[in-house]
Amino acid sequence: MPEGIYCNKQPITTDEALKALLSDTRGKKYYEEMESLEVDREKLWSSIQKTMKSRMKTWLSVCARCGLCADSCFLYLVNDRNPEQVPSYKIHSTLGEIIKRKGDVDNAFMRHAMEVAWSQCTCCNRCAMYCPHGIDIGIMMGYLRGLLYSQGFVPWELKIGAGMHRVYRAQMDVTTEDWTETCDWMAEEQQDDWPGLEIPIDKEDADIMYTCNAREPKHYPEDLAEAAILFHIAGENWTVPSEGWEQTSLAMFAGDWEACKLQVQNVYAAIERLRPKRVIGTECGHAHRATVVEGPYWAGRPDGQPPRPYIHYVQWVAEALRTGKLKIDPTKRIKVPVTYQDSCNYVRNWGLAETAREILSYIVEPGYLREMTPNKEHNYCCGGGGGFNGIGKFRPQRNKALLTKRDQILATGAKLVISPCHNCWDAIRDLEEEYRIGIDWSFLKPLLIKMVVVPEHLKPKDDDGDA
C-alpha cells in the first residue's frame, strides 16, 4: 500500500510533521505523491456502510435529476452553465459513483473527486433551498470530503489546516502563551485611550465568554482589541478562556471529522470550566457553523446544543444596539453607498439575515444601503467559502468564482462592503485585488467603534494635547 512521505492517509499530529509538510512549497511533492497514492477500497466501502446516514441515502435515491438546482449554484452560472457544474451532477458523479461501485474506485477517480469536492462546491447550501426535495448537495459534499480526507486525497493547505487544529487546537500555530500574551498586550495598548479596559482571562461565571479566530491573535490582534473596546463600552462582564478560545475549524473544510471533534470539545471544555452565562463568537461565519451549528453533533451532545447559549457576533451587536448598551451617534452613520455581504454560514445556516439588517438600520444613514440581488438567505456565496479561499491549486477556479460577488457588488453601486465573516472579507479583498472595482470592505467592529457614543465616565481623564 504505497503512501507518500508528504501525501498519505495519516493525519498530521505533531509539530514536526506540520513543519515538514509546510516545507514542501505549494505542496509540489505532495501532489506528485498523490498521483500514486493507493485507494484502500475496502476501508472506503466499509466506512461508507458505517457512516452514511439514511438521510443521505434517501437524498441520493430520490434525486430526480430534474436539474432544478442548476441555476441556484453560482459555480454553475459563473462557469457558463457547464453541465458538470450542476449540483446534482457534481454529487452523483462523485459520491454517487463511489457508492454505486461499492468503493471500487481508483486513484484517478479520487483525484477527480477531490477536485470536484473542493473546487466545484463551497458547501454554501444554496442549492438546497431550490431543490423540490430539499436535497442538500453542500452537506453531501461535506461528507464526500470526509471520505476523501480519510484516504489522503485532500488539498495540501487543508491537510495542514486540519493538522494545525490537531497540534495547536487552532488553525494557526498560536500557542496558549502566544494567545494570553496577545490578550495582555492588546489590553495594555488600549489602556491610555480606554482607562480601565481589560481582557480578562479565565474569569469564572462571567456573563460572556468570547471566542475568536486564530488569525486574529496571529495577524490582526487589533480585532481582539476592538472586541474588548466594544464590550468595555457596553459595560459587559466578559472573559476569554486561556484554552479553548479558537472557534474556527479548517478541519471542517478538510473533512477531518476527528479533528473537528477535538477542536470543538476544546471550546466546550472551556465553557464548562468557566461557566459563562453565554458565549459570543467573533464575526467569522464558518467559526459559527463549526462551533455552534455542527459542533454539538461532532461532540456528541445529546441535546444538539453547545453547553451554554452560544451566539454569533451580529446577534450580540444587534442586542447591544437594541437595548442601548451601545448607542450610535447619528451624525457618524455611514453616508456612502454601502452593501452587506450575507455570510452563508450564519445567514442561510443560522437565520441571521434580519439580525444583520437590524444592525444596518442603526449604523447606515437611511437611503445609503444598497442591497445585493439576491440577498439574505438567497445570497450567493462570496466565492471563497468552504476552504476555496486558501487552496493554491484551485486559485484560478476560485478567482473565477469571485465574479458572481463582484458583479453583485457592482450592480449595487456600493463603495463599501460590510462583511462580518472573515472568509467573505478575504474573498472580497481578493476580488478587489484581482478585478479592481474600487471598493472598500470592513468588519463590523471598526465601523462600530468609529460611530459609537462613548459614555463620559469611560473617556480618558486629564490631558490632552492640542497638536
Partner 1 sequence: MFGKIVFATSGAPDCDSAARVAFDMAGRYGSEIVVFHCLGIPGKGDSNLVLDVRTGEEVDPDEEYLEGVREELRTTYAIQLSACKNARIEIAVGNPSREVLRAARKEDADLIVMGARRAGVEVGGFYRRGVIGGTHRKVAKAARCPVLTVSRPAASFWGGFSNIVFATDFSKASQSAFKLAQSITRDVDGELHLFHCLDLDRLQSPIALTQEGIEGRLAEARRKIQVEYAAKLGDLAKRASIEVWEGSPYVEIVKFARERQADLIVMAHHTRNVDPDEGPDERPFGSTLEQVLVRATCPVVSVNRPDKLPEASEA
Binding site for partner 1 (CB under 8 A): 22-23, 25-26, 157, 160-161, 171, 185, 188-189, 192-193, 215, 218-222, 250, 384, 387-392, 395, 423, 426-427, 429-430, 432-433, 436, 440, 450, 460, 462-467
In whole angstroms, what is the distance from residue 395 CA to residue 214 CA? Answer: 23
In whole angstroms, what is the distance from residue 225 CA to residue 192 CA? Answer: 13
- Sheet with 440-442, edge to edge strand ranges: 338-340, 416-418, 440-442
Q: Give the residue with the Cβ less far from ligand SF4, 84 or 192.
A: 84
Per partner kind, with CB cut-offs from 5 to 8 A, the member of partner 1, ligand SF4, none near residue 420 is none
Give least dist CB 131 to ligand SF4, A.
Answer: 3
Cell matching residue 100: 454505486
Give least dist CB 289 to ligand SF4, A.
Answer: 8
Give least dist CB 400 to partner 1, A.
Answer: 14
Residue 253 phi, psi dihedral angles, 5° rounding = -65, -30
Give least dist CB 422 to ligand SF4, A.
Answer: 8
Q: Give the residue with the Cβ less far from partner 1, 4 or 221.
A: 221
Residue nearest to ligand SF4 (CB): 385
Residue 223 phi, psi dihedral angles, 5° rounding = -60, -40
In whole angstroms, what is the distance from residue 72 CA to residue 76 CA? Answer: 8
Q: Give the residue with the Cβ less far from partner 1, 16 or 188.
A: 188
Cis peptide before 374 (omega within 30 of 0): yes
Per partner kind, with CB cut-offs from 5 to 8 A, the member of ligand SF4, partner 1, none near residue 157 is partner 1
Structural contact between residues 245 and 291, judged by C-beta atoms closer than 8 angstroms: no
Start-end of H helices in 413-459:
422-435, 444-451
Q: Give the residue with the Cβ less far from ligand SF4, 33 or 246.
A: 246
Q: Give the residue with the Cβ less far from ligand SF4, 328 or 344.
A: 344
Look-up: residue for cell 474569569?
A: 203
Per partner kind, with CB cut-offs from 5 to 8 A, the member of partner 1, ligand SF4, none near residue 68 is ligand SF4
Give least dist CB 57 to ligand SF4, A.
Answer: 14
Distant-in-sequence, close-in-space partners of 446: CB < 8 Å, separation ≥ 6 = 226
Q: Give the residue with the Cβ less far from ligand SF4, 125 or 248.
A: 125
Give 141's Cβ-side CA count (13 Å radius).
28
Give least dist CB 45 to partner 1, A.
Answer: 32
Closest CA to 98 of 47, 62, 38, 64: 47
Residue 283 phi, psi dihedral angles, 5° rounding = -75, -15
Structural contact between residues 24 and 170, judged by C-beta atoms closer than 8 angstroms: no
Q: Give the residue with the Cβ less far from ligand SF4, 241 or 255.
A: 255
Structural contact between residues 135 and 128, judged by C-beta atoms closer than 8 angstroms: yes
DSSP conformation class of 172: S
Give least dist CB 6 to partner 1, A.
Answer: 13
Residues in touch with ligand SF4 (CB under 6 A): 63-69, 72-73, 75, 87-88, 90, 121-127, 131, 133, 135, 137-138, 141, 285-286, 343-345, 381-382, 384-386, 421, 423-424, 427
Per partner kind, with CB cut-offs from 5 to 8 A, the member of ligand SF4, partner 1, none near residue 105 is none
Q: From the centroid of its chain, how far is CA 217?
A: 16
Per partner kind, with CB cut-offs from 5 to 8 A, the member of ligand SF4, partner 1, none near residue 201 is none
Does the CA dihedral 287-120-134-132 come out positive or negative?
positive
Q: Give the residue with the Cβ less far from ligand SF4, 40 or 71.
A: 71
Give least dist CB 54 to ligand SF4, A.
Answer: 17
